[in-house]
Amino acid sequence: MTESTYRIQGGTGEWEVVIGLEVHAQVTSQSKLFSGAATAFGAEPNSQVSLIDAAMPGMLPVPNAECIRQAVRTGMAINAPINRWSRFDRKNYFYADLPQGYQISQLYHPLVGEGSIEIEPEGAEPKTIGIERIHVEQDAGKLMHDQHPTRSYVDLNRSGVALMEIVSKPDMRSPAEAGAYVKKLRSILRYVGSCDGNMEQGSMRADVNVSVRKPGDPFGTRTETKNVNSIRFVMATIEIEARRQVDLIEDGGTVVQETRLFDPDGNGGKGVTRSMRSKEDAHDYRYFPDPDLLPLELDEAFLEEARASLPELPDAKRKRYEGDLGLTAYNADVLTADVETARWFEAMLAEGAAPKPASNWVTSELFGALNRLGKDIGESPVSPKQAAELNKLVADGTLSGTLAKQVFEVMLETGDDPAKIVEERGLRQTSDTGAIEAEIAKVMDANPDKVAEYRGGKDKLFGFFVGQTMRAMAGKANPAVVNELLKKALDV
């Protein structure tokens, strides 16, 4: 609906970049797509390899129901039709990380049809990005090149792990849109629970298809940069590759449809894309239906279970937070961006915290603390239950905002419950008017000149008296009571 205004300035004028992404997302499962070998990350080389994954003679694939189910749920989450009849095809090519000599994938009849997701790129209008299809396929193994001068080493632990390939339409027009797309997709996958979205461990990586054109022209020739493994790198790949293509065309060259790879350290650390000669016959994969597997037919009960097990998704949750809980748009956005945050926040509500103050507390106090500690919300030293209790102590007047901050600091250090900290350290807020009045009198006695100035019209000094009184009360006085009593004493 809204046209991106991202443009590349070339010698011949402005260029538009056209981007499509093929995201490979590792399906969360205990065992591989076609074998009973484990999928855990970081195991000893070749320790999670079955005879099937090593493509021993006569070995056969049997599909893992959970991988199919997770791909189906993911399809439902992007509002795509689930094909009740799909099929596995073989994609044939030779490479050392591909023991069978083919990858079992889905070309002709993918499991999931067309869907879409909404993105909100930073500083731009929201946009709908089309998704062409989702299919299920095997991951390849891993090659290690730096352990021996003349040999590469092959580790098949990843070989056969289930992937969802999520293919977008060429709907993105700027690095920011592509970044927002991957971020949103990651968020949805994590909500659904079909992929942990861990890009550092390779659970999610993107093949980035980039072409350039003069605005309004037909699509140009695209290149595919493989296996880009962070959002930042996806955006960098687009910038660098689009620039390369513009320069190439303007110098009289033509873009070749080819596979490239992104080297973040190239070009003096600015990053560069390079042609991948290792994938020579990439264009003749000789796909055909895998004769070891029958067509995959899903019944209504299977689909129904998948649908029923879907959680509330980020867009719906954000709307509910704003509408039903009355949170600010900013808080609703921040709290729903990642499923763990939303879960944490909702756990806090379930423990009785009031939504609005809790949302402010999480987005400011908790996030601030976690940031300082360099921890994820999942590693928070304070539990949602403890956080709810802390918030309740503020709500019922036991703690002032200042005291609450102090208690929270102690909680972070000790992991103790707030009530215990309040009790042991005597951090309870006091509304004892007698005690406060006595301290006010002392403050006024000690500062007769300030009292005179104030009474002479220097209203700003009120803050000074509040501060002095609070300090004299060791911060435990109820600020509202202090204000009220100070007014009474000063405004005679």
Between the two ends of the chain, the Cα-to-Cα distance in Å is 65
165 binds Zn ion (CB under 5 A): yes
Binding part of the chain for Zn ion, among 165-173, 312-320, 334-342, 418-426 by CB under 5 A, reads 165-173
Q: Residue 224 CA to chain centroid, in angstroms? A: 24
Number of residues that bind another protein (CB under 8 A): 73
Phi-psi bin for 5: left (phi > 0), alpha (psi -120 to 50), beta?
A: alpha
The overall longest dimension of the chain from CA atoms, in Å, is 98
Q: List the single partner that 149 binds among Mg ion, another protein, Zn ion, none, CB under 5 to 8 Å by kind.
A: another protein
Q: Which long-range contacts (CB under 8 A, 24 or more apart) does 449-455 make?
A: 451/490, 454/490, 455/490
Q: List the single partner that 67 binds among Zn ion, another protein, Mg ion, none, CB under 5 to 8 Å by kind.
A: another protein
258 binds Mg ion (CB under 5 A): no
Exposed / middle / buried, residue 22 (Cβ in 10 Å: 0-12, 13-18, 19+): middle
Rule CB under 5 A: which of 309-368 touch Zn ion? Answer: none
- Separation of alpha carbons 24 and 192, rounded Å: 16
- Separation of alpha carbons 340 and 321, rounded Å: 15
Distance of closest approach, residue 166 Cβ to another protein, in angstroms: 21
38 binds another protein (CB under 8 A): yes
Q: Are 321 and 327 in contact (CB under 8 A)?
A: yes
- Separation of alpha carbons 83 and 371, rounded Å: 44
Among 6, 15, 102, 262, binds another protein (CB under 8 A): 102
Binding part of the chain for another protein, among 57-65, 207-215, 400-408, 428-436 by CB under 8 A, reads 57-65
Q: List the single partner that 264 binds among Mg ion, Zn ion, another protein, none, CB under 5 to 8 Å by kind.
A: none
Distance of closest approach, residue 240 Cβ to Mg ion, in angstroms: 19
CA nearest to 250, candidates 214, 197, 223: 214
265 binds another protein (CB under 8 A): no
Residue linked to tokens 């944490």: 344
Binding part of the chain for Zn ion, among 158-166, 181-189, 198-206, 454-462 by CB under 5 A, reads 158-166
- Separation of alpha carbons 290 and 87, rounded Å: 8
Binding part of the chain for Zn ion, among 72-80, 162-170, 215-223, 277-285 by CB under 5 A, reads 162-170
Distance of closest approach, residue 261 Cβ to another protein, in angstroms: 7
132 binds Mg ion (CB under 5 A): no
Site string for Mg ion, 154-193 (x = CB under 5 A): ----------------------------------------
Site string for Mg ion, 197-216 (x = CB under 5 A): ----------x---------
- Separation of alpha carbons 11 and 133, rounded Å: 37
Minimum CB distance to Mg ion smaller for 100 or for 209: 209
Number of residues that bind Zn ion (CB under 5 A): 1
Q: Are 174 and 121 in contact (CB under 8 A)?
A: yes
Which residues contact Zn ion (rule: CB under 5 A)? 165
